[in-house]
A and B are shown apart, each in its own frame.
Chain A
Amino acid sequence: MWQRYVSRWFWIIVLFTIFVAPLVLMVLRSISFRWGWPDVYPMMFSWRAWEIIFRDPEIIWSMILTVLIAGAVVMLNFLLAVPAAYGVSRYRFKGKPLVEAILMMPILIPVLAIAMGMHLTMIRIGLTDSATGVILIHLMPTLPYAVRVMKAGFDRLSPDWEEQCTTLGVNRWRLFWTMLVPQIIPSIRSMAVLVFVISLSQYVLTLIIGGAKVMTLPMIYYPYFSSGDQAVVAGFSVLFALLPIVFLVVFEGVIRLYMFTIQRP
């Protein structure tokens, strides 16, 4: 018994050291003052870096833009991936393996290849240098994962429920919003956070299609990384980790509101 206890604590420490401790170090760096080599821990703390970040209108604007773009990418993924995953999970038809293979293509092919190939065309139809173009190109690295996550959700859900509803005369639209959506909320949540993070992490796609006109946070982060104030770079990095958490909290609120609305008689 004690052996199990020891190995349990061993693994808790290992997991913490590998996955949590680096993040703690990053947070400390963002609130430390003059933490230079070879100090192992900071001597003084200050909010200076955070003040610089939140006083800069350019950064604030870029943060809003980044969240709006990522939010739009999440919405589009919901609209495209949910029906696609439903189709893959519930129907069997000729050529389905081919269809599934096409859906997974952007995971295999470098998105840089797609962006470089599409660039001239997107210039011609006026989608470059605009948030619309950036949102569309962000669909490439996100959509295959969104379909995968949603498909796993539908696979776990028995089709019997839908049959029962249809037998009871519930129309398809209502069936979707009141029966399917509440049942697959865990999958929708995973999908939304995953897509949000992937969109937040795009640098080169936004740079190519946005043409340095669509200034999302990574556009500011990259030049800052090598030349900027160390504490501010740390604060910036923390911001990237905080945004998905804030998104998750807001999302949770929306879900609660949604469930409350549909459960009202």
Chain B
Amino acid sequence: MSIGNEKLSSNGMPSWLKGLGFLAPALVVIAFFVGFGLFQAAQGSVSREEGDAFWVNYQALLAHESFLRSVGISVWVAFSSTFISLVIGIWMTRRLIRVFRFDHWKFVAWLPMIIPHFVAGYLIYIIFAPSGWLSAVFYHIGWIDVMNQFPILVNDPLYIGVILTYVWKEIPFVLLMMLPVYQEMDLRYEDVSRTLGGNSFTVFRTVEFPWVFPVSLETFLILFVFVLGAFEVPALLGVTFPKMLPILAYEWFYQSAWVNRPMAQAMMVLISLFAILTAFFVLRFTARWKSQWASRRGESL
């Protein structure tokens, strides 16, 4: 949207220079931290020992048992928590938008947004821990007799507590991303689909999907890479083996012997590269999808 900017920039300076001028301070701060930080991390990750190949730390990392287990558990947690919150979030949005005429409900749904991640972890802990509230309820129903009979759902090797925490925190984020999509969608198409005999699933597939799909993919990307790199929740609700990637990196970098430092840097460089590459392909794909559907509907972008 740049309507009328020629008139706004009337004092001789070219438009692009002024635009860049507004952006410069934020751009400098981010480019400095990200660029310099990543550069230093990359520098710290390559070997400068005489006689070693410079990628020797990457080789050691990729052969390291605990690193591979960490990759496994991190991908499992990131994928399942993101997938579950996306499915529940989309389903909730499409129901809520039809049930409530006004969006007052969104204040309730956005409450988790003001709760820090580790407090969300605490909530999951007091509900799902063996000494927690759900276990007490089960005792009163008579399903369990002692605390130990309650399944271990926090600090468990499958990271169920961590997944639950992320699902609780990310559903509102999905709502926040999806609500504008549903608000700009032309829901009259739903009537068309219903009149032609479409059920709820057909309506979703034919009417909503083209709008929802690109945004879902972007939301998935943001949440997935966030969980992959976040330290706070697994630090509270994780277990010592296997550790999630950020916990392992932190431990190698700050707690154990300094010989592990280059491998910790290498791990962070690999995650960053993965995130950037994935983002590049996902965003290119969604941009194409959006413009294709816009032209199919006869809109001009």
* Chain A residues close to B by CB (< 8 Å): 4, 7-8, 11-12, 15-16, 18-20, 22-23, 25-26, 29, 37-40, 79-81, 83-84, 86-94, 96, 99, 102-103, 105-118, 120-121, 136-137, 139-140, 143-144, 147, 155, 159-160, 162-163, 166, 193-194, 197, 200-201, 203-204, 208, 218, 221-222, 225, 233-234, 237, 240-241, 244-245
Contact A105 B34 (CB under 8 A): yes
Inside 8 A of A38's CB, which chain B residues have their CB? 135-136, 139-140, 147
Inside 8 A of A16's CB, which chain B residues have their CB? 108
The CA-CA distance from A139 to B113 in the complex, in Å, is: 18
Inside 8 A of A201's CB, which chain B residues have their CB? 116-118, 232
Per a CB cutoff under 8 Å, which of B18, B40, B127 touches A118? Answer: B40
Which one of B23-31, B55-63, B197-205 is at the A interface? B23-31
The CA-CA distance from A26 to B119 in the complex, in Å, is: 10
Inside 8 A of A137's CB, which chain B residues have their CB? 33
Indicate with 1 or 0, residue by residue over B100-118, a CB within 8 angstroms of chain A CB atoms: 1000010011011111111
Query: Is B3 in contact with chain A by the CB < 8 A criterion?
Result: yes
Inside 8 A of B136's CB, which chain A residues have their CB? 37-40
Closest 4 pairs between A and B when the two form their complex, measured CB to CB = A110-B229, A91-B19, A87-B22, A93-B16
Contact A234 B126 (CB under 8 A): yes
Contact A113 B268 (CB under 8 A): yes
Contact B265 A117 (CB under 8 A): yes
Per a CB cutoff under 8 Å, which of A106, A139, A204 touches B231? Answer: A204
Number of A-B residue pairs having CB atoms within 8 Å of each other in the complex? 261
Nearest-CB residue, chain B, relative to A162: B8
Nearest-CB residue, chain B, relative to A15: B108
The CA-CA distance from A201 to B21 in the complex, in Å, is: 32
The CA-CA distance from A161 to B253 in the complex, in Å, is: 53
The CA-CA distance from A117 to B34 in the complex, in Å, is: 9
A154 to chain B, nearest CB (A): 9
Contact B34 A225 (CB under 8 A): no
Per a CB cutoff under 8 Å, which of B17, B38, B44, B105 touches A15? Answer: B105
The CA-CA distance from A93 to B23 in the complex, in Å, is: 12
Q: List 15 contacting pairs A-B, 8 Å CB cutoff, sorted by A.
A: A37-B139, A84-B27, A87-B22, A89-B1, A99-B20, A109-B38, A110-B271, A118-B33, A139-B29, A163-B7, A221-B118, A222-B235, A225-B118, A233-B122, A241-B119
Task: Give the interface SS of chain A, mostly helix, strand, loop or mixed.
Answer: helix
Nearest-CB residue, chain B, relative to A9: B99
Contact A115 B37 (CB under 8 A): yes
Nearest-CB residue, chain B, relative to A203: B232
Query: Is B36 in contact with chain A by the CB < 8 A criterion?
Result: yes
B227 to chain A, nearest CB (A): 10
Which of A22, A144, A163 has most B Cβ within 10 Å?
Answer: A22
Inside 8 A of B231's CB, which chain A residues have their CB? 112, 203-204
The CA-CA distance from A106 to B33 in the complex, in Å, is: 9
Q: Contacts A15-B109, A193-B114, A203-B232; is A91 near B16 (CB within 8 Å)? A: yes
Contact B95 A11 (CB under 8 A): yes
The CA-CA distance from A40 to B237 in the complex, in Å, is: 23
Per a CB cutoff under 8 Å, which of A80, A108, A111, A200 touches B26? Answer: A80
Contact B22 A222 (CB under 8 A): no
Inside 8 A of A12's CB, which chain B residues have their CB? 105
Q: Contacts A23-B111, A93-B19, A109-B272; is A117 near B27 (CB within 8 Å)? A: no
Contact A40 B140 (CB under 8 A): yes
* Chain B residues close to A by CB (< 8 Å): 1-5, 7-8, 10, 15-23, 25-27, 29-31, 33-34, 36-42, 44, 95-96, 99-100, 105, 108-109, 111-119, 122-123, 126-127, 131, 133, 135-137, 139-140, 147, 168, 171-172, 222, 225-226, 228-232, 235-236, 246, 249-250, 253-254, 264-265, 268-269, 271-272, 275-276, 279
Contact B119 A105 (CB under 8 A): no
A172 to chain B, nearest CB (A): 10
Contact B37 A114 (CB under 8 A): yes
Contact B2 A222 (CB under 8 A): no
B277 to chain A, nearest CB (A): 10
Extra contacts, 18 of them, besides A39-B136, A102-B30, A201-B232 (Cβ < 8 A), are A15-B105, A19-B108, A22-B126, A23-B123, A37-B136, A89-B1, A96-B19, A107-B225, A107-B226, A111-B229, A113-B38, A116-B264, A117-B42, A118-B36, A140-B30, A204-B235, A234-B126, A245-B114
Contact B95 A110 (CB under 8 A): no
A42 to chain B, nearest CB (A): 11
Contact A94 B126 (CB under 8 A): no
Q: Contacts A81-B26, A110-B272, A117-B37; is A91 near B15 (CB within 8 Å)? A: yes
Inside 8 A of A218's CB, which chain B residues have their CB? 116, 118
The CA-CA distance from A240 to B117 in the complex, in Å, is: 10
Inside 8 A of B27's CB, which chain A residues have their CB? 84, 99, 102-103
Contact B250 A204 (CB under 8 A): yes
Inside 8 A of B272's CB, which chain A residues have their CB? 108-110, 113
A165 to chain B, nearest CB (A): 10
Per a CB cutoff under 8 Å, which of B7, B8, B100, B265 touches A11? Answer: B100
